[in-house]
Structure 1
Amino acid sequence: MAGGRNTAAAASGRGPVTISFAGYNRAWAAWIGHRLERQGHQVSLQRWDLNPGDTIEQGYSDLLLSEGRVLVVLSEWYFRLGNRSHEEWNAALRTVVPANAERFAAVSVTPAALPSAVASMGAADLWGLGAAEAERRLLSRLGTAPGAAGTAAGRTGAGSDTLGGTGGPRFPLEQPAVWGGVPRRNTRFTGREQLLGELHQQLLQAEPGAGVATLHGLSGVGKTHIATEYVYRFGPEYDAVWWVRASERGTLREKLAGLAPALGLVTGREYGERLRAVRDALRRGEPYFRWLVVLDGADQPEDVHDLVPTGPGHVLITSQNRDWGEHNSSLIEVRVYDREESVAFIRRRAPRLDDDDADKLADALGDLALALDQNAGALNDSTMPIDDYIELLQRGADVEPGLKVAADFQMTYYTAFSILLNRLREDKPEAVDLLRLCVFFAPGPIPVRLLRDLPIRDVPEQLTLLLDDPLLWNAAISKLTQWSVIQSDPQEIISEETPGSTEVVQMHRLVYQAVRADMPAEEHSTYSRVVRKLLAAADPGRPTDTRLWPRYAEIVPHLEASGALESTNPEIQLMVLNCLNYLYLSGEYRTGLRIAAATASRWAEVLEPGDPRHSDLAHHQANLMRATGDYTATEELDRSVYERLRAERGPDDLLSIRVAGSLSADLRALGRYEEALELATSTRDAYARLVGENDFRTLNSQNNRAIALRLLGRYNDALALDQQTMESRREAFRDRNNWTLSSENHFALDLRLVGRYDEATSVQERNSEIHRTVMGADNPQTLRSEHNLGLCYHRGGDRPRAALVMGRLLERCQRLLGDTDPLTVRVAVTLSTFEREHGDLDRARDLGEFALHHYRGQFGEAHPYTAGALANHGLLLRAAGERQQSQLQVEAALIAMTTALGPDHPWSLACALNAAAARNFAGDPENAAELSRATADAAAAELGRHHPLTLSCRIALATDLRNLRKRQEADKIEEEALAALAATLGPQHPHTVSARSRNRPYWDFEPFTT
């Protein structure tokens, strides 16, 4: 421990001391530190602050890393940080303090009740004492005999003499000699520790005459309360503190002049004479060198900047107006609370709310301090459930009459925003026009490019001037930024395909609501129509082009707020459809489903029943539903649309053909592979007739036909067709097009399925790399590509790489897509088989059972995926030593798979391979050999004599024949199979090595994308 390193000074009772304190008690910590330094202690101040994930024990262990004693300044505030209960504190203190009793000491600076285990610290009570007695008890608690004041070498953090005085910080229970106008301290003040520290450092380090700092931010963000807390927390460092309401020049002059008697200045009765005397006294630092003047609410710097005092002291300004930066003031922006601070504040304001309720309220109110205070106060005085109250807020109900208004700010945040808007309307009406335009975008960042860089016709005159005149535009932006109504920030250039301004503007959601409420009803349609036209003009019209996805990402958040979903304008409707296509391709399925459902509801009211847009919308909605695994509902939707279109337009209509392709995809997902192939083939042929062989629709349907072939086990046919599609897409589009990349992924998959593992890995490594570059690491198509790569590594025998890819992939799929997304479940299936063979059997079982349960619930017992997951689980049970149950499941899987797909499908053959092994282990070599022979012959006919599955079946047959003492035939079959494995996969491939060691082969089921 650090105590073992104490020097001779420590032995005499004057060793190093670390003072641990809550920010609220900073004045006590500074005074204590100064008193200890005068006695020769080396002092370090350590503000107590727990991160959300840290435990109290961790925090105290960190304190013990310091040298010497740890002196804890105890108050109720010390135990409020981090929302830890008294029970948690008691448990931690009982664990840490007794074991380190010689290191801990404490003083109490509160009359409030504290956790009972605080008694272990033997705290000296300083509350309610005079300075001399408090110092005596402090020194006694540390075993320091009072002596002559020493020189504090290496002193850090006490901060007492830096304002030019020599006496150090004042005793916290004593007010400065001059104290006027300061509001009562907020006993519910929460957070802002970093901001207060930054403010203190800026003022502390300022040169004489330059100690001016401005807290600026939106009305209601908490500027005045922060300034008040600064005064109480750091007030003991000053000899004079004077608080002035500074909204009007006349008021400011009067209140500053009122400081003259407090300073003992003898002047005449005129304000001007008294004001000059005060300013002169402050400039000279006489009679007080250490002074602080607070100008609260100084929102018009051009009117009052000449009245700001100068001298050795400090000036703290609160303002909505950032133009104080032009008047020699440093600026500190006050933003809304962090969510953790919001929750802590709400819990103090409304104790009946728990953390989850507080989080919901904070989210609904955008973490704005004044709104949190007033709404939490209202909730604490009512019994209304939090969800009901938030619903009122979200639908814009009038909750203002019930808000709890504090005595020191007797207006609601609604009124505060109304005053702000009126001020803007008088000062810069163009700024209000811009705000009204912005509120028909969604709350959140609005790219300026959407507002400025696009031609707009038929807009109101005031908006035409605003949009066409750069000077007027910039003046409006500057005014809104100046008054903290919006934030205007540069944005990273995401893509070379998104030219123009990269600036974004953003306003708080409560300002957003206030502006909409302030707008005359007749202007709503005008402004919303302009925003819809802006969005439609921003649509690049190519949602399949990944380079343009950043443009769509800018548009999508604003579709609902602008009213685009209920528009009857064909251009805007097309934009909505393009956005839905983008959301599907980019993997934003849930957002897409929500927007598609909302659009369907609105279009049912504004479009005629036979309008083609309904079919377009249904197509995108079905794609999104299918992507999330809702196959039954998708099949019902597609079939109803398909039958209607066939009846209305005929089977060769392009809309009918498109829906037929979607229906084919549904049938594939539901395990009806033959039907799916038939429909995919007719769709492909129809497109070829009507739009040509190389049209993207023909190639898409050709790709889908290959998927059906693969699901039917016709791997060579799928390989040939995928290669043809890939080459056609490369020629028609480009090498890095997302459709081309998808074809390349399918081509590598086919290569792997026919046993050409090295070729498959080579293709897929390149494919995955380009996917990450072009589509991003989190796109579902990229994840599918990486899944294929992991399986290529596995089949190719590179198990370390396979483990690396597969292990990380599951976590990413769960995080990005959810636990039950089709891709997540497929990854879980394959990772389970990998872990069973090479890793953690318990994890393999958890994943395998999850997948089996999911497929049973989604598809029922008769689906091939359920049968395959059951087969895998049977292998897992065998690995766990549960052979009897294993055989039952393996045999059941064989029956189910054969019933679903026929006996010659590769998945059926794989189930048969595993069932033969189970029969052998169960002591039935005759039936095992019979099944192995039939399976090997069928695999050779279906897949070829040198396919890895065929060779595995041959190795298994040799094992069964050897058990029947047919050694000659067994040796011959084994020798041929081993030679073929060595030639096909290589002599050192794990399959070859395992077969050479006469380990019984098995085959794992792998679900395919449908």
Structure 2
Amino acid sequence: MDSLPVRTGRQTVTISFAGFNRAWAAWIAGRLEQHGHRVVYQRWNPLPGARLDESLRDLLLAPGPVLLVISDSYLQLGPRTRDEWDSALREVVAPHQDRFAAVSVTTSTPPTTMAVLAPADLTGVDATEAERLLLARLGLPATPVEESEQRMRSASRFPSDAPRVWGGIPRRNSRFTGREHLLSTVYEQLLDAGVVTLYGMPGVGKTQLAAEYAHRFGSEYDVVWWVNAGKRTTFRQGLAELAPRLELSTGAEYGERLRAVRDSLRHGTPYARWLLILDGADEPDQIADLLPTGPGHLLITSRNSARAAHSSMLLEVPVYDRHESVALIRRRAPRLTEAEADRLAEVLEDLPLLLDQMAGWLNDSGTSVNEYLELLRGDQSSVTVPSEFPLAFRTAWSVLLNKLRESSPESVALLRLCTFFAPGFVPVHILRETTAEELPEPVARLLNDPQVWHRAIDQLRQYSVVRPEPGGDNTSGGYVYLHRMVHQIVRNDMSDEDRQEFAGMVRRALIAADPGRPADTDAWPHYAEIVPHLEYADTLRDTDPAVHALVLHCLRFLYLSGEYGAGVRLAEQVLPAWQDRPGRPDDLLWELGHHYANLLRACGEYRHSEAVSRAAVEQYRAAGGSRSTGYLRAVGGLAADLRALARYDEALSLSREAYDGYRRQLGEASPRSLAARNNLAVSLRLLGRYQDALEVDRRTLDDRRRFLGAGDVWTLYSEIFRATDLRLLGRYAEAASLQERSVREHRKVVGAHHPQTLRAEHNLALCLYRSGSRDRAAPLFGRALERCERVLGETDPLTLILAASRSCFARAYGDIDEARELSESVITRYEQLLGPTHPYTAGARTNHALILRGVGERQQAYALAEQSLTDMSRAVGPDHPWTLGCAINASALRDLVGDPESAVALSRDTAARATVSVGATHPLTLSARVALSADLRVLRERREADAVEAEAVQALAMTLGPRHFHTVSARSRARPSWDFEPQTT
């Protein structure tokens, strides 16, 4: 039979498919619907005990032709024998050949009697040919149809077309059983909500369910990517590794790759149909800020049902239904009867992981179910089980471990070693790279004899204790997956002596895996792999100096790679362990404190980092180490904290102390001395002492060029600061010339996406903006901010600096809506990061007051400008350039709300103070004088106003040029305003 009788008109086709083949059913349905036919889905899942012929006969109740999607899964569900199928096909299908049709999506040989269905083979052909064969088999006309672009984008992908990107998915479990309703529910909820979390107690098969979903429905996606989400560092690394697979143009930094991936997924470019699976996200708050959004699907496994707080659909994964338990046991142990499988499932409480492990062992051991149940009843093992695990685990695992000790002691040794890594993905290749001399003989034989290794890991795999994972193979060793429940039980089932011995082996392996180069981005993947295992290998309490070096290297890596939160958590675990250790060297604790303070500072925890830095300074002084370089480093760190907290005078004093100390001990040419001198200039700049900062930065730049070279990254850093000083002094053209050349060097030396390059481009944009080159400045502002958000994140201090500048530029040149949105965001973040009275918060508010004035909200603008002036004056004093700038803005708003006398008084005082603070010809002073002339005209004091204006315009023409926009604006009597610009601290 080649096809059903030719049919015309609209048909109703019933598609009978195993859940395993849902992707094929969806594609077939899509093609039939496109040709105008109606489709009814019928998932084939006959229960054990149901007659196969009756299940097939039930299909005849549906109208129209019935299409069977034949696969291994379709034939085996039940499970069913070939004899059963032969009988049912003869009895039901043969008499109704006009109603049944079939397509084959398997390369396996079907039962002989399946020929009665004459299935069309859809394997090994493309989508066009498969559609032709499908329609021909159903006797339907293959009339060409036009498809809209939107329809083509939303249509199901052809199942034989593999996803364009596929990574990290566990190998398909050939023994996966049941869960059909759950899989269908996941599919439907992902279509509806986009984000689904599978949660449940350990051992119920959340990971297996997610893996089966990926394999079963993966053909419907262009991208399927699996990420271990148990730790923030591994999640960040796994997601970042998607960047090159998406062919995204990024640098080497993980932070940049991560944000590029999130942008790509959010916008659906280059692929809108993506599936991201986050496995083991048991602490969702740690990764909540990294979760991608967009048109794709997010499937999460977690023991933590609180994931609902992050807009996820929750789906509980329960233990098996009894018929599923029986089916799994009989697939794992075919020799068991249905009644024996039922008894075993009852005792093991229908827990999938335990059923799989124990049924596998029973099948291989020859032990009867009765004998096994007797073992369970008689076992008096001390194996302890955490309260969250079913009690059946204690006795069942006791029996299995005892048998493994007898039959395969190497397997037990390997399993115990694995428990001193974090649960989940265990990098056993790290163990195998450890030299044999450092290991006890039995373990050395295990790791160095491929046959012993293969036998041990195969034994564990056979009993579903571990699962080999992509990235390694069973022979050479790579990665294995160890379930959290197994991890805890095996780890608890050891004496203290054994625990210390195995933990020591893993520590030595981690030490050997340390590249020793935390600043080298090429080494970062190695550190990302090491960090999650530090706690489990008991490294935090080890007294070995090599372990100390490993921990410090990991902290340095976390800081440089932008994983500040994870670094803080690690440091806070290490700190009490090292503090309480008798006889520990002070310099070790001070080194830890240095990294801890850096991480806190990077997180914006300035008060906390100040406390850590100050404690280190005081401890150094108490120990008589105030002349050491460690002390000077602590002093420099404290100065950085105080700069961030706007305690600029104290920061300047400490900056001088650090610089003088390094200069005396190491000389002027030392990189540390040059860095300390650079920080001295930063402190001066924040105090508004721009000329003094310029002199220090000029010397530092000259010395860095001489001692470090013109292309050194620190030399380039000094170029940014010198150009900044020149710009803040009003020497715009000179600053732009220096910064333009420096930007070219930055792009060549450190790359276009490096944070320092972004800082250089931002400074160039400001130089061009102040010089009047608006058209050249505009794209630089936009590109620098966009890349900074991608590389560093939206809350990074540099991102906030760039966002503030972009907002001011947008306000000045017409995009008031963009300016307002950015400005409101900057204010909110500064309030959260620094507090409501910090000068940066006050400065952001004065910028926002100008926006409110621009949209006609005068009273709100006036109130905000006055608040900013008051807060800024309290924070940095009445003579600081920032306070004087706030005063220029406030005086303009006093005029607008009808208080010209107060405006004149404020403008007059501002102009006088600015003359003393920054000089008579500085642009800030001249702006204050132009503002004063405008305020005087409101009071009809024309003679004084004309005189003040003429003097200011003449000075502007001499300093900036007669055609500079500030000069032109003053000549046309436009009221000047001032933009607050946050500075690097």
Q: Give the TM-score band, short-chain normalised.
A: 0.5 to 0.7
8 Å contact from structure 1 (residues 539, 552) kept in 2: yes
Partner-residue secondary structure (3-state), 1:560 = coil
Label 1:610 to 1:745 Cα distance change in 2 as closer, same or farther (>3 A): same
Counterpart in the other structure of 1:408 = 327
8 Å contact from structure 2 (residues 842, 868) kept in 1: yes
Q: Determine the C-alpha separation between the residues in 2 that align with 1:487 and 1:76.
A: 31
Counterpart in the other structure of 1:86 = none
Label 1:133 to 1:524 Cα distance change in 2 as closer, same or farther (>3 A): closer
1:973 pairs, out of 941, 944, 951, with 951
8 Å contact from structure 1 (residues 425, 432) kept in 2: yes
8 Å contact from structure 1 (residues 456, 533) kept in 2: no
8 Å contact from structure 1 (residues 337, 369) kept in 2: no
Which amino acid letter does the alignment assign opposite residue 179 of structure 1?
A: E
Counterpart in the other structure of 2:879 = 904
Q: How does 1:163-562 map to 2 (within 5 A)?
A: 178-179=83-84, 201=105, 203=107, 211=108, 240=113, 333-334=171-172, 345=183, 358-361=197-200, 367-369=206-208, 387=304, 406-409=325-328, 410=345, 412-414=352-354, 416-417=356-357, 436-443=416-423, 450-451=430-431, 457-465=437-445, 485-489=467-471, 505-510=479-484, 513=487, 516-517=490-491, 520-521=494-495, 522-546=497-521, 548-562=523-537
Partner-residue secondary structure (3-state), 1:891 = helix
Label 1:342 to 1:783 Cα distance change in 2 as closer, same or farther (>3 A): farther
Label 1:77 to 1:768 Cα distance change in 2 as closer, same or farther (>3 A): farther
Counterpart in the other structure of 1:746 = 721
8 Å contact from structure 1 (residues 343, 362) kept in 2: no
Cα drift, residue 646 of structure 1: 1.4
Tell me, which stretches of 5 or more residues in structure 1 are unaligned?
1-11, 32-43, 49-62, 79-108, 110-125, 140-157, 164-168, 184-198, 204-210, 213-236, 242-284, 293-330, 377-384, 391-399, 492-500
CA offsets 1:390-417 (integer angstroms, 9 cap, x no match): 9xxxxxxxxx999876222346414644
Cα drift, residue 920 of structure 1: 3.8
Label 1:817 to 1:923 Cα distance change in 2 as closer, same or farther (>3 A): same
Partner-residue secondary structure (3-state), 2:623 = helix
Cα drift, residue 681 of structure 1: 0.5
Which amino acid letter does the alignment assign opposite residue 207 of structure 2?
A: L
Partner-residue secondary structure (3-state), 2:928 = helix
Label 1:576 to 1:70 Cα distance change in 2 as closer, same or farther (>3 A): same
Q: Determine the C-alpha separation between the residues in 2 that align with 1:821 and 1:954.
A: 37
Counterpart in the other structure of 1:54 = none
Cα drift, residue 743 of structure 1: 3.9
Which amino acid letter does the alignment assign opposite residue 558 of structure 2?
A: L
Label 1:425 to 1:737 Cα distance change in 2 as closer, same or farther (>3 A): farther
8 Å contact from structure 2 (residues 697, 718) kept in 1: yes
Give % identity. 39
8 Å contact from structure 1 (residues 489, 503) kept in 2: no
CA offsets 1:461-482 (integer angstroms, 9 cap, x no match): 2344455668877898899899
Cα drift, residue 809 of structure 1: 6.1
Counterpart in the other structure of 1:830 = 805
Partner-residue secondary structure (3-state), 1:651 = coil
2:574 pairs, out of 578, 586, 599, with 599
Q: Determine the C-alpha separation between the residues in 2 that align with 1:290 and 1:972.
A: 95
Partner-residue secondary structure (3-state), 1:73 = strand
Q: Determine the C-alpha separation between the residues in 2 that align with 1:291 and 1:14.
A: 20
Q: Does 1:1008 align with 2:977?
A: no
Cα drift, residue 599 of structure 1: 0.9
8 Å contact from structure 2 (residues 788, 799) kept in 1: yes
Q: Does 1:666 align with 2:641?
A: yes
8 Å contact from structure 2 (residues 953, 967) kept in 1: no
Label 1:465 to 1:662 Cα distance change in 2 as closer, same or farther (>3 A): same
Cα drift, residue 626 of structure 1: 1.5
Partner-residue secondary structure (3-state), 1:408 = helix
Counterpart in the other structure of 1:582 = 557
8 Å contact from structure 1 (residues 904, 942) kept in 2: yes
CA offsets 1:41-84 (integer angstroms, 9 cap, x no match): xxx95446xxxxxxxxxxxxxx99x7552413156999xxxxxx
Cα drift, residue 864 of structure 1: 1.7
8 Å contact from structure 2 (residues 849, 860) kept in 1: yes
Partner-residue secondary structure (3-state), 2:655 = helix
CA offsets 1:888-929 (integer angstroms, 9 cap, x no match): 332332233233323332212211221332244345556545
Partner-residue secondary structure (3-state), 1:407 = helix
Cα drift, residue 623 of structure 1: 1.4
Q: Determine the C-alpha separation between the residues in 1 that align with 2:181 and 2:617.
A: 52
Q: Determine the C-alpha separation between the residues in 1 that align with 2:707 and 2:690.
A: 25
Counterpart in the other structure of 2:340 = none
Counterpart in the other structure of 1:712 = 687
8 Å contact from structure 1 (residues 337, 368) kept in 2: no
Q: Determine the C-alpha separation between the residues in 2 that align with 1:553 and 1:902.
A: 46
8 Å contact from structure 1 (residues 22, 77) kept in 2: yes
Q: Does 1:883 align with 2:865?
A: no
Cα drift, residue 611 of structure 1: 3.3
Q: Determine the C-alpha separation between the residues in 1 that align with 2:183 and 2:444.
A: 45
Partner-residue secondary structure (3-state), 1:915 = helix
Cα drift, residue 591 of structure 1: 0.9
Label 1:922 to 1:509 Cα distance change in 2 as closer, same or farther (>3 A): same
Partner-residue secondary structure (3-state), 1:1002 = coil
The structure whose RCO (Cα within 8 Å, separation 6+) is larger is: 2
CA offsets 1:969-997 (integer angstroms, 9 cap, x no match): 256335424524653xx94x654554455
Which amino acid letter does the alignment assign opposite residue 84 of structure 2?
A: W
Which amino acid letter does the alignment assign opposite residue 953 of structure 1?
A: A
Q: Determine the C-alpha separation between the residues in 1 that align with 2:692 and 2:622.
A: 34
Which amino acid letter does the alignment assign opposite residue 577 of structure 2?
A: R
Cα drift, residue 589 of structure 1: 0.5
Partner-residue secondary structure (3-state), 2:626 = coil
Which amino acid letter does the alignment assign opposite residue 353 of structure 2?
A: Y
Counterpart in the other structure of 1:190 = none
Q: Determine the C-alpha separation between the residues in 2 that align with 1:23 and 1:767.
A: 65
Q: Does 1:14 align with 2:8?
A: yes
TM-score normalised over the length of structure 1? 0.60
8 Å contact from structure 1 (residues 485, 507) kept in 2: yes
Label 1:832 to 1:160 Cα distance change in 2 as closer, same or farther (>3 A): closer
Q: Determine the C-alpha separation between the residues in 2 that align with 1:202 and 1:874.
A: 69
Label 1:994 to 1:820 Cα distance change in 2 as closer, same or farther (>3 A): same
Counterpart in the other structure of 2:51 = none
Q: Determine the C-alpha separation between the residues in 2 that align with 1:26 and 1:481.
A: 24
Q: Determine the C-alpha separation between the residues in 2 that align with 1:512 and 1:826.
A: 49
Counterpart in the other structure of 2:869 = 894
Label 1:757 to 1:546 Cα distance change in 2 as closer, same or farther (>3 A): farther
Counterpart in the other structure of 1:866 = 841
Partner-residue secondary structure (3-state), 2:479 = strand
Which amino acid letter does the alignment assign opposite residue 855 of structure 2?
A: A
Counterpart in the other structure of 1:494 = none
Q: Determine the C-alpha separation between the residues in 2 that align with 1:538 and 1:447.
A: 11
Cα drift, residue 1005 of structure 1: 1.0
Label 1:577 to 1:742 Cα distance change in 2 as closer, same or farther (>3 A): farther
Which amino acid letter does the alignment assign opposite residue 532 of structure 1?
A: R
Cα drift, residue 371 of structure 1: 10
8 Å contact from structure 1 (residues 435, 515) kept in 2: no
8 Å contact from structure 1 (residues 365, 509) kept in 2: no
Partner-residue secondary structure (3-state), 2:942 = coil
Label 1:708 to 1:589 Cα distance change in 2 as closer, same or farther (>3 A): same
Counterpart in the other structure of 2:36 = 69
Counterpart in the other structure of 1:676 = 651
Cα drift, residue 592 of structure 1: 0.5
Tell me, which stretches of 5 or more residues in structure 2 are unaligned?
1-5, 47-53, 89-102, 122-168, 213-278, 281-301, 308-316, 329-344, 362-399
Q: Determine the C-alpha separation between the residues in 1 that align with 2:696 and 2:472.
A: 48
